[in-house]
Amino acid sequence: MPASAARDAVTGLEYAKQITAMESDRRTRSAFQTLVLSIAPPGGTLFDFGAGTGMDARFYAEHGLNVAAYDVDSNMCEFFSDYCRDFIKAGRVTLDCGGYREFLARKNPADGLDVDLVTSNFAPLNLIADLRELFAKFHALTGPDGKVLVSVLNPYFVGDMKYGWWWKNAFRLRREGHYSVQGSQGPIVRRRLAEFEAHSAPYFTLKRVFPGLPPIWARNSSGVVASRGARYAWLCTIRCLFMFLLFEKSKSGQQRNA
**Share in percent of the chain as helix, strand, coil (round to 5):** 45, 25, 30
Which of 177, 173, 151 has its CA nearest to residue 161?
173
Provide the residue ranges of all domains of the chain, joining segments of one domain with +: 3-153+193-231+240-257
pTM score: 0.88
pLDDT at residue 8 tops 90 = no
> Range with the lowest mean pLDDT among 25-29, 142-146, 222-226?
222-226
Q: Kindly give the interhelix angle for 74-83 and 12-19, rounded to the nearest 10 degrees.
A: 80
* HEC profile of 13-43: HHHHHHHCCCHHHHHHHHHHHHHHHHHCCCC
CA gap 24, 198 in Å, rounded? 30
CA gap 179, 173 in Å, rounded? 6
CA gap 51, 84 in Å, rounded? 12
Q: Kindly give the interhelix angle for 131-141 and 193-200, rounded to the nearest 10 degrees.
A: 50
> Range with the lowest mean pLDDT among 71-75, 149-153, 183-187?
183-187
pLDDT in tens, 89-100: 999 999 999 999
* CATH superfamily name and code, 3-153+193-231+240-257: Vaccinia Virus protein VP39 (3.40.50.150)
Residue 48, number of CB atoms within 10 A of its CB = 27
Averaged pLDDT, 176-189: 90
